[in-house]
């Protein structure tokens, strides 16, 4: 996408996104990071955090809801390691995050291990080429690149975390356990496939939904969700009602309540384990009127005792980073729930993270 503009930045001829820079001569610090860029980035971050003092977009949200504003974070971001992401680097996303005034982002490269789908999606991208996901050499490069971003962007106040989104299915536990020997900050579990068919895909999903009654789909989906929770692998579950995305075209509005009576014990088990639930905003980009999950499921999660929530745009390109995050935070505020960040697998409510930043 050479030469295309994106907010307050541009794409280079090599496809790298960078914020617009002044043409004036700038000083650099001892690590080669522009002090002008650093100062501006720090102002962006502080503007977001300064909402608690009554300025910025979060202040408006706080005035409406009466809530203490949360740090603006994005905990579902797909860089160019994900095979379904556009070819933008970790650094490209960090530059965009600074422009947006995000306080923290977590990269969640998408991995799938289903051997039946080996030829389709058992890959990541490494140096612009498809790389077998089971060859964990890609993780060395992934962690190294994130560490470089942490060093470069620490002067801006942006925190950068290492995460992964794992597509779970029955029988994949050995592969997942091997992957999780790496020290991820955040491990996001997701159900993308049923019976080896991607229900998250516009092209594949009709083949699954057309061959199942609504009751059978419900039983199969939530059986896999329950099994994912019981593995203990995941810090949080992503887009837990993903079946709504394309299932509504086959089943109609009945799919909107199919979770009733089956999801409650799963949410209770998640609460018992201290697991989190993601508020995924990508649904709004697809014309769906509610987040994943819908408000009713968020309320059921709170009633079940879940206290850990994250928000994520599920961005596959920089222009989607932070998309609808403020609305998701407002929804959590409305229900008296709290956004969280993760460090080495430990969940911290953003109110505590904010206090730490101010200390």
Cα gap 54→49, rounded to integer Å: 10
Does 51 fall in a domain? no
188 and 234 Cβ atoms separated by less than 8 Å? yes
The pLDDT of residue 285: 86
- Convert the pLDDT of each residue in 218-273 to its tens digit: 999 999 999 999 999 999 999 999 999 999 999 999 999 999 999 999 999 999 99
**All residues at 6 or more sequence positions from 273 whose CB lies less than 8 Å from its CB, including other chains:** 229, 232
Does 44 fall in a domain? no
The pLDDT of residue 56: 37
351 and 68 Cβ atoms separated by less than 8 Å? yes
Does 100 fall in a domain? yes
Domain containing 132 — which CATH number?
A: 3.20.20.140
Does 63 fall in a domain? no
The mean pLDDT value for 158-166 works out to 98
- Measured on CA atoms in the order 124, 129, 132, 137, is the torsion positive or negative? negative
Q: Which domain does 151 fall in, by range?
A: 70-358
- Convert the pLDDT of each residue in 282-291 to its tens digit: 988 888 889 9
Cα gap 298→292, rounded to integer Å: 9
DSSP conformation letters of 23-39: SS---B-TTS-BHHHHH
Rama region for 295: left / alpha / beta (φ>0; ψ in -120 to 50; rest): alpha
The pLDDT of residue 352: 63
Beta strands in 258-355 (DSSP E): 276-280, 308-312, 340-343, 346-349
Residue 118 to residues 23, 79, 86, 111, 231, Cα–Cα distance (Å): 49, 21, 21, 11, 23
Lowest mean pLDDT among 44-53, 159-168, 332-341: 44-53
The pLDDT of residue 70: 65
The pLDDT of residue 14: 36
| Tokens at 253, concatenated | 């509005």
Does 47 fall in a domain? no
Does 54 fall in a domain? no
- Convert the pLDDT of each residue in 316-330 to its tens digit: 999 999 999 999 999
Strand pairing class (17-19; 9-11): antiparallel
Does 31 fall in a domain? no
Does 25 fall in a domain? no
Full-model pTM: 0.81
User: What DSSP character marks residue 254?
Assistant: G
Helix, strand, coil shares of the chain as percentages rounded to 5? 45, 20, 35
Cα gap 103→70, rounded to integer Å: 10
The pLDDT of residue 316: 97
The pLDDT of residue 37: 42
The mean pLDDT value for 143-172 works out to 97
Confidence of residue 48 (pLDDT cuts 50, 70, 90): very low
The pLDDT of residue 356: 57
The count of domains in the chain is: 1
The mean pLDDT value for 160-166 works out to 98
């Amino acid at each position: 996408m050479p030469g295309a503009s994106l907010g307050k930045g541009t794409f280079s001829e090599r496809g790298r996104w960078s914020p617009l820079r002044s043409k004036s001569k700038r000083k650099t610090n001892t690590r080669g990071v522009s002090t002008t860029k650093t100062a501006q980035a720090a102002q962006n971050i502080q503007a977001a955090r300064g909402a608690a003092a009554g300025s910025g977009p979060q202040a408006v949200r706080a005035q409406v809801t009466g809530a203490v504003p949360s740090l603006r974070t994005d905990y579902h971001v797909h860089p160019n390691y994900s095979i379904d992401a556009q070819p933008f680097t970790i650094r490209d996303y960090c530059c965009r995050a600074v422009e947006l005034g995000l306080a923290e982002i977590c990269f969640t490269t998408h991995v799938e291990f289903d051997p039946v789908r080996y030829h389709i999606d058992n890959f990541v991208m490494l140096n612009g080429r498809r790389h077998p996901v089971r060859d964990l050499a890609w993780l060395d490069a992934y962690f190294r690149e994130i560490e470089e971003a942490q060093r470069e962007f620490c002067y801006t106040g942006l925190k950068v975390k290492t995460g992964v989104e794992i597509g779970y299915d029955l029988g994949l536990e050995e592969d997942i356990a091997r992957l999780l020997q790496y020290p991820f900050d955040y491990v996001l579990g997701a159900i993308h496939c049923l019976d080896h068919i991607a229900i998250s895909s516009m092209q594949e999903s009709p083949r699954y939904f057309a061959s199942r009654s609504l009751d059978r789909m419900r039983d199969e989906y939530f059986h896999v969700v329950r099994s994912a929770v019981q593995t203990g692998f995941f810090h949080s579950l992503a887009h837990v009602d993903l079946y709504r995305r394309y299932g509504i075209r086959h089943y109609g509005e009945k799919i909107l309540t199919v979770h009733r009576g089956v999801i409650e014990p799963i949410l209770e088990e998640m609460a018992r384990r201290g697991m989190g639930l993601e508020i995924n905003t990508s649904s709004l980009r697809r014309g769906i009127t509610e987040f994943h999950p819908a408000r009713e499921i968020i309320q059921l999660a709170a009633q079940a005792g879940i206290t850990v929530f994250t928000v994520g745009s599920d961005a596959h390109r920089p222009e989607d980073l932070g998309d609808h995050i403020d609305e998701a935070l407002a929804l959590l505020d409305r229900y008296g729930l709290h956004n969280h960040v993760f460090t080495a697998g430990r969940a911290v409510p953003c109110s505590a993270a904010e206090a730490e930043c101010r200390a």
